[in-house]
Amino acid sequence: MPLYHTDDQAMLAETASQFMAEEGAISKQLRHWRDRDCTDGFGHALWKQMAEMGFTGLLVPEADGGLGMGHVEAGIVLEEIGRNLTPSPFLTSSVLAATALQAGSNDLKGRWLPGLIAGDSVFAVAVDEGAKHRPERIRTRAEKSGNGFRLSGQKDFVVQGASADVLVVAARTSGADEDADGITLFAVPKDAANMSHQPVRLVDSSMATHTKFDGVELDGDAVIGEVDGGREVLERMLMAGRVGAAAEGVGVARGAMDMTVGYLKQRKQFGKLIGEFQALQHRAAHLYSEVEIARAAVIKAAQLLDAGSENADLMASVAKAKVAKTARLAVQEGVQMHGGIGMTDEYDIGLYMKRDRALQEFLGDQYYHANRVAELSGY
């Protein structure tokens, strides 16, 4: 398969690009909701519009009412989300939760997927425990209780946790904290008793929660997939999420780069355009090179994921780590080359820096994933 977009994918990219630039623009979404101190951190009307565009159910199989597309297509939408810093529950709902729910029973899918596809429901994933992404160690416990389970523990960095209708929770049903086995995924509805959220606004003005489960009673049918056999579903969900986050990160990097290169062509100092200075030209050209490479890695990872390749896991980590390095370079060069106004809230370049920081951390930063590349390679 050639490593560029097919004609259909190029068409989707154009549609998504136009939609995000118009409806998902920074002034219309990110700044709008931030300046109103919106506690959801995004606009539900846009989420509904994304459903009308067919984006929400993009990864859901046609048999379940979705479009049955792949991770390359999801990545296309996410890249445009990244470029426009469009706040939405797309990554957590339409990529992470949608991937996990595919392992669920027909009953479970019938209960939750229509709301996702319609843009009526929002999904969050509760995996992290503590300030760093360490999904190898899961301490939150779900004890057998009657026909169901009793969930206890705490999850952190639950993005969209407070506005979510459903939380996909990774919990331990047997074994010790570090065991690979003994994990079960649950779809926990927002009205579950004994669940409490501490919402926190993050640096990029998105919303996350510290979520406490204090003996949350769950029916057996809240289980996604097999009891004790959730590790595989968790891995699949994380892989999809990492490739998705990497695609969004490429969008952030490209958005910051485009804005910065544009600025180099209009800002004058010492009587000339600053883009004429070779010191800046070389840094911009280096950045371009890195962004191109990162983007190729993301498309490759998505293709491998769609093909069910055994290399997908390694490439997902390569892509996440490469994008993390690249997007960080893009936003840092962006702020520096904008000079003083790069430090102002009025200019958008700083918003890219903040979004990048949050995205870096989500589902593992560059150090986590570079280390994972080493481990998967055998050193």
Partner 1 sequence: MAGATQELEQFRAETRSWLEANCPAEMREPVRDEDDVYWGGRNAVFKSEAQRQWFEACRDKGYTVPAWPKEYGGAGLTPPQAKVLREEMARIGARPPLSSFGIWMLGPALLKFGTEQQKLRFLNEIARGEIRWCQGYSEPGSGSDLVSLQTYGEDRGDHWVVNGQKIWTSYADKADWIFCLVRTDKANKYQGITFMLYDMASPGVTTKPILLISGNSPFCETFFDDVKVPKSYGEGIPAQVGEVNRGWDVAKYLLGHEREMISGADGGERTAAIGAAMKRGAGELDPLLRAELAQFDVDALAYACMGEKFLDEVKVGKAHPAQPSMMKYAGTELNKRRYELMMAAGGSRALEWYSEETGGGKTARGWLRTKANSIEGGTSEVMLNVVAKRILDLPGA
> Where do contacts with partner 1 occur on this chain (CB under 8 A)?
2-4, 261, 264-265, 272-273, 275-278, 281-282, 284-286, 288-290, 292-294, 296-297, 299-300, 314-315, 317-319, 321-322, 325, 366, 369-371, 373-374, 377-379
Question: Could you tell me how many helices (H) and strands (E) the chain has, helices first?
Answer: 11, 10
Nearest Cα to Cα of residue 67 among 75, 56, 77, 76: 56
Closer by beta carbon to partner 1, 224 or else 246: 246
Provide the minimum distance between the beta carbon of 166 and partner 1 in the complex, in angstroms, as a whole number.
34
Q: How is residue 299 written in tokens? A: 């498309």
Closer by beta carbon to partner 1, 60 or else 321: 321
Q: How is residue 281 written in tokens? A: 């030209």
Provide the minimum distance between the beta carbon of 368 and partner 1 in the complex, in angstroms, as a whole number.
11
Closer by beta carbon to partner 1, 39 or else 371: 371
Provide the minimum distance between the beta carbon of 286 and partner 1 in the complex, in angstroms, as a whole number.
7
Closer by beta carbon to partner 1, 92 or else 317: 317
Strands (E), the chain: 123-126, 141-145, 148-159, 166-172, 183-189, 195-201, 207-218, 223-224, 268-269, 272-273
Provide the minimum distance between the beta carbon of 103 and partner 1 in the complex, in angstroms, as a whole number.
28
Beta-bridge partners for 161: none
CA distance 344 to 335: 10
Provide the minimum distance between the beta carbon of 258 and partner 1 in the complex, in angstroms, as a whole number.
10
- The helix (run of H) or strand (run of E) holding residue 328 is helix 312-338
Nearest Cα to Cα of residue 348 among 205, 138, 215: 205
Provide the minimum distance between the beta carbon of 66 and partner 1 in the complex, in angstroms, as a whole number.
25
Match 């057996």 to its residue by tokens.
220
Closer by beta carbon to partner 1, 3 or else 63: 3
Closer by beta carbon to partner 1, 45 or else 285: 285
Beta-carbon count within 10 A of 47 CB:
24
Closer by beta carbon to partner 1, 108 or else 293: 293
Compute the half-sphere exposure of residue 21: CA atoms within 13 Å on the CB side of its CA: 7
Provide the minimum distance between the beta carbon of 313 and partner 1 in the complex, in angstroms, as a whole number.
13
CA distance 355 to 34: 13
CB 173 within 8 A of CB 222: no
Nearest Cα to Cα of residue 151 among 167, 173, 134: 173
Closer by beta carbon to partner 1, 3 or else 176: 3
- The helix (run of H) or strand (run of E) holding residue 306 is helix 278-307
Match 């669940």 to its residue by tokens.
195
Provide the minimum distance between the beta carbon of 220 and partner 1 in the complex, in angstroms, as a whole number.
42
